[in-house]
Amino acid sequence: MKFKILLALIFVNLMQAQKFYFPKTAVTDSLILEKQMPALAVQVISNLQTVKYKPKNDADFSDTLFRLQMVAKEYKKSIATLAEHRNQFADHNMAGYKSLGYEVYSMAKLTEEAKKTSFSKALQAAFNAKYESLDEHLLPRVGLAVNGDVNNFRKLLKKALNKQKGKDSINYPSALALCKAYLNYKTYSSIHPQIMQLLKVKDNEKFITETKNLKTNNGNTLTITIIRKKENKSPLPVILTSNIYAGEIDHFFGKRAAVYNYVGAVVNTRGKRNSNDENNPFEHESQDLYEVIDWVSKQPWSNGKVGMIGGSYVGFSQWAAVKNLHPALKTIVPQVSVGIGIDYPAQNNVFMSYMLQWIQYVTNNKYTDEADFSNAAKWDSINTAWYKSGKAFRALDTISGKPSKIFQRWLDHPSYDQYWQKMVPYKEEFAHINIPILTTTGYYDDDQIGALYYYKEHLKYNKNAEHYLVIGPYNHGGAQSFGFTYVGGKPIDPVARISIDDLAFSWFDYILKNGKKPEILKDKVNFQVMNTNTWKHVPNLDGMHTSTLKFYLKDRKTSPSVFSKPESIEFTKQVVDFKSRDEKDIYYKLSKTDSAKVNNLIHFESETFDKDIIISGNLSGLLNVSVNKKDMDTDIYLYQVQPDGKPFLLSTHTARASYAKNNEVRQLLQPNKMEQIPIRQSIFTSKKVEKGSRLLLLVGISKNPNWQLNYGTGKDVSDETIKDAGEPMVVKWYNDSYVEIPVYKD
* 310 and 339 inside one domain: yes
- What's the distance, CA 717 to chain centroid? 27
* 60 and 196 inside one domain: yes
What's the whole-number average pLDDT of the chain?
93
Angle at 640 between CA 639 and CA 646, to 5 degrees: 100
* 106 and 162 inside one domain: yes
> By C-alpha distance, which of 728, 681, 740, 730 is closest to 553?
740
* 402 and 422 inside one domain: no
* 488 and 558 inside one domain: no
- For the beta carbon of residue 602, count every other beta carbon within 10 angstroms: 17
Q: Are 335 and 315 in contact (CB under 8 A)?
A: yes
Does residue 5 lie within any of the structural domains? Answer: no
* 311 and 383 inside one domain: no
pLDDT in tens, 164-201: 999 999 999 999 999 999 999 999 999 999 999 999 99
For residue 219, give every residue at least 6 positions away whose Cβ sits within 8 Å of its Cβ, in sequence order, or none. none
* 184 and 224 inside one domain: no
Q: Tell me the residue length of the chain.
A: 746
Does residue 80 lie within any of the structural domains? Answer: yes
Q: How many domains does the chain have?
A: 4
- Distance, in Å, from the CA atom of 462 to the CA atom of 428, rounded to the nearest integer, reads 9
Q: Are 635 and 741 in contact (CB under 8 A)?
A: no
- Distance, in Å, from the CA atom of 431 to the CA atom of 426, rounded to the nearest integer, reads 10
pLDDT of residue 62: 85
Q: Are 465 and 432 in contact (CB under 8 A)?
A: no
- Hey, what amino acid is at 701? I
Does residue 209 lie within any of the structural domains? Answer: no
Does residue 210 lie within any of the structural domains? Answer: no
Q: 439 pairs with which residues across the strands? A: 469
Does residue 284 lie within any of the structural domains? Answer: yes
- Distance, in Å, from the CA atom of 625 to the CA atom of 674, rounded to the nearest integer, reads 6
**Helices and strands per DSSP (H, E), number in the chain:** 21, 30
* 360 and 338 inside one domain: no
Which segments of 390-435 does DSSP mark as H helices, in order? 396-399, 405-411, 418-421
Burial 663-694 (b: 16+ CB within 10 A, else e): beebeebeeeeebebebbbbbbbbbbbeeebb
Burial 209-221 (b: 16+ CB within 10 A, else e): bebeebebeeebb
Q: What is the signed CA dihedral for 618, 438, 98, 684, rounded to 10 degrees?
A: 0
Domain end, chosen from 412, 431, 461, is at: 412
- Distance, in Å, from the CA atom of 83 to the CA atom of 93, rounded to the nearest integer, reads 11
* 483 and 372 inside one domain: no
pLDDT of residue 56: 72
Angle at 62 between CA 61 and CA 68, to 5 degrees: 90
Burial 30-69 (b: 16+ CB within 10 A, else e): eeebeebbeebbbbbbebeeeeeeeeeebbebbbbbbbbb
What is the reported pTM?
A: 0.93
Structural domain boundaries, residue 612: 547-744
> By C-alpha distance, which of 478, 459, 477 is closest to 469?
459
Does residue 453 lie within any of the structural domains? Answer: yes
Burial 91-102 (b: 16+ CB within 10 A, else e): bbebbbbebbbb
- What's the distance, CA 472 to chain centroid? 14
- Distance, in Å, from the CA atom of 91 to the CA atom of 496, rounded to the nearest integer, reads 10
CATH number at residue 670: 2.60.120.260
pLDDT of residue 95: 52
CATH number at residue 531: 3.40.50.1820
* 426 and 490 inside one domain: yes
Domain end, chosen from 389, 412, 435, is at: 412
For the chain, first and last CA: distance in Å?
64
- Distance, in Å, from the CA atom of 699 to the CA atom of 632, rounded to the nearest integer, reads 13
Question: Element (H or E) spanning 150, and its range?
Answer: helix 150-162
Does residue 3 lie within any of the structural domains? Answer: no
pLDDT of residue 558: 76
Sheet holding 647-656, edge to edge: 601-605, 694-701, 633-641, 647-656
> By C-alpha distance, which of 298, 293, 237 is closest to 264?
237
Does residue 211 lie within any of the structural domains? Answer: no
Domain end, chosen from 358, 379, 412, is at: 412
Print the SS3 string covering 728-740: CEEEEEECCCEEE
- For the beta carbon of residue 75, count every other beta carbon within 10 angstroms: 21
* 485 and 567 inside one domain: no
Low-confidence ranges of the chain (pLDDT < 50): 1-17, 91-94
Supply the DSSP symbol for 482.
B
pLDDT in tens, 677-725: 999 999 999 999 999 999 999 999 999 999 999 999 999 999 999 999 9
pLDDT in tens, 420-442: 999 999 999 999 999 999 999 99
* 445 and 493 inside one domain: yes
pLDDT of residue 489: 73
Q: Are 721 and 540 in contact (CB under 8 A)?
A: no
Q: What are phi and psi of 69, to 5 degrees?
A: -65, -35
DSSP 155-192: HHHHHHHHTTTT-SEEEHHHHHHHHHHHHHHHHHHHHT
Query: Residue 727, SS3?
Result: coil
pLDDT of residue 483: 66
DSSP 220-246: -EEEEEEEEETT--S-EEEEEEEESS-
- Distance, in Å, from the CA atom of 387 to the CA atom of 380, rounded to the nearest integer, reads 10
